[in-house]
Amino acid sequence: MSNFVQQEINNRNRWVYFTRGRWIAHALYWTWVLFFGTILRLEQPITPSALFVNFFLTNLHIAVFFYLYCLYLIPYFFKRNKNTLFWLLLLLFFFLLPVSDTFFNLTYLNKYMPVAERLPADFWSAYLNTTYLYLGNFMLFSMMLFFMEKNEENNLVVELEQEKKEIELVKLDLLKTNISPDFIMRSLSQLKRTATVPEPYTPESIITFSELLRYRLYRGKQLQTPLSEEIEALKTFINFINYDQLHNNLKADLKISGDPSGKDVAALALINVLEPFCKVIPDKPADIKLNIHILTDTLLLTIHYDKPASGALVSDLKQYGQDYINLYGSSVQFNFENCEDATCKIEMTLPLLLNDGR
């Protein structure tokens, strides 16, 4: 896996100067060299053979130097922090390739070049001219690569922001749709028990559990849900708990003040906060009381549990609070404490959004 990731990084670094349309800059650069450096300075008729000699062969060595620099030296040495080796190889190529280029020009190309463009017959004078040419074009080429790097950096910032948003959405979906296996197993055991030993509430218990699962699946795909629907789902959940309170050792009670109509709340926020209490059957009968106070743009939720929370319940509640704070920011406030009277208390503030009543 690590080799695959490294390979992808290498490919991205290697071809960064040619992706996202940046190859056009290279095409424009060589078009500029072709037009201003070759065609306008040719004294002979412009023919394919003349262009081959005066453009392709003349620029062959410097092109090799440029693309060794951007396709090999930068991605494999500079971007891997092998700085000493990078500079040694760069200087080596910079001073050795002009030697080959000068020799090639003096022995072959000079006789095809316009008189004014020919290199001096003396090797070292010709070498210095070639080196100055390399230096000037290298500075221009490096500036072009620099602006490409800045463009890639800006694109990476945008991509990272987009990926962060996508990750947050995935985390939100996981948070909302993640149903505890312990809760599922306990609920199924409850349904199995009521089906084996028929109780008056057996049909209602099965229906309410089905409605609860259906609501989770439907609303779990959405960021916000109408507060009135969330409260109805919470009532359904509480009814499911209370149907078998004698075997589950848990009784839930809900009180609501305020008008929920025309307001939206984070999807499944009220359902998920109650679920940790239903994962494990208490060793003794316990009561959980939920008080919801609805304001214009805020929902205040207070939960009183008449037993001290410990172990997995404490961990689940703290994780729930931290998850919703991470997802919705400072507008969510979550406080949990075990009280001195052997009970625990949860206070939560959720932001509400006004809707059009649909």
Task: Spell out the domain ranges in the chain.
Answer: 2-159, 178-354
Positive/negative CA dihedral, 80, 81, 87, 89: negative
Positive/negative CA dihedral, 270, 271, 275, 277: positive
Kindly provide the residue ranges of all beta strands, DSSP E only, lying in 98-249, ordered along the sequence: 224-226
Q: How far is CA 317 from the centre of its chain?
A: 27
Residue closest to 216 by CA, chosen among 227, 225, 207: 225
- Give the C-alpha separation, 323 to 303, whole Å: 18
Please give the helix or strand (H or E) that residue 153 lies within, else none: helix 123-177
Query: Is residue 245 left, alpha or beta, with left meaning phi > 0 and alpha meaning psi from -120 to 50?
Result: alpha
Query: What pLDDT was estimated at residue 300?
Result: 93
Entry pTM: 0.52
Contacts of 90 (CB under 8 A, 6+ apart): 69, 73
Query: What pLDDT was estimated at residue 178?
Result: 56
Amino acid identity at 3: N
Mean pLDDT (the chain, rounded): 81
Q: Once rounded to an integer, what is the mean pLDDT over residues 133-151? A: 86
Q: Once rounded to an integer, what is the mean pLDDT over residues 89-112? A: 83
Per-position b or e across 205-229, b if 16+ CB within 10 A of its CB: bbebbebbeebbeebbeeebbbbbb
**Strand ordering across the sheet containing 286-294:** 250-257, 286-294, 298-305, 344-351, 333-338
More confident residue, 116 or 264: 264
Amino acid identity at 180: S
Positive/negative CA dihedral, 46, 52, 53, 58: positive
Per CATH, the number for 178-354 is 3.30.565.10
CB 171 within 8 A of CB 327: yes
pLDDT of 168 over the 80 cut: no
Query: What pLDDT was estimated at residue 2?
Result: 52
Tens digits of per-residue pLDDT, 20-31?
Answer: 888 888 888 888
- Give the C-alpha separation, 254 to 234, whole Å: 9
- Give the C-alpha separation, 309 to 319, whole Å: 14
Q: How far is CA 312 from the centre of its chain?
A: 30
CB 259 within 8 A of CB 340: no
Query: What pLDDT was estimated at residue 119?
Result: 67
- Give the C-alpha separation, 65 to 77, whole Å: 15
- Give the C-alpha separation, 327 to 178, whole Å: 15
Q: Once rounded to an integer, what is the mean pLDDT over residues 229-258? A: 87
Tens digits of per-residue pLDDT, 293-332?
Answer: 999 889 999 999 988 887 778 888 888 888 777 777 778 8
Tens digits of per-residue pLDDT, 31-74?
Answer: 888 888 778 777 777 788 778 877 888 888 888 989 888 888 88
pLDDT of 217 over the 50 cut: yes
Q: In Å, how far are 37, 50, 116 from 44, measured between CA atoms? A: 14, 8, 13
Per-position b or e across 136-153, b if 16+ CB within 10 A of its CB: ebbeebeebbeebeeebe
Considering only CA atoms, give the Rg of the chain. 36
Residue closest to 235 by CA, chosen among 201, 264, 208: 208
SS3 226: strand
Structure tokens at 187: 């609920």
Query: What pLDDT was estimated at residue 299?
Result: 92
Query: What pLDDT was estimated at residue 3?
Result: 61
Structure tokens at 270: 């009220």
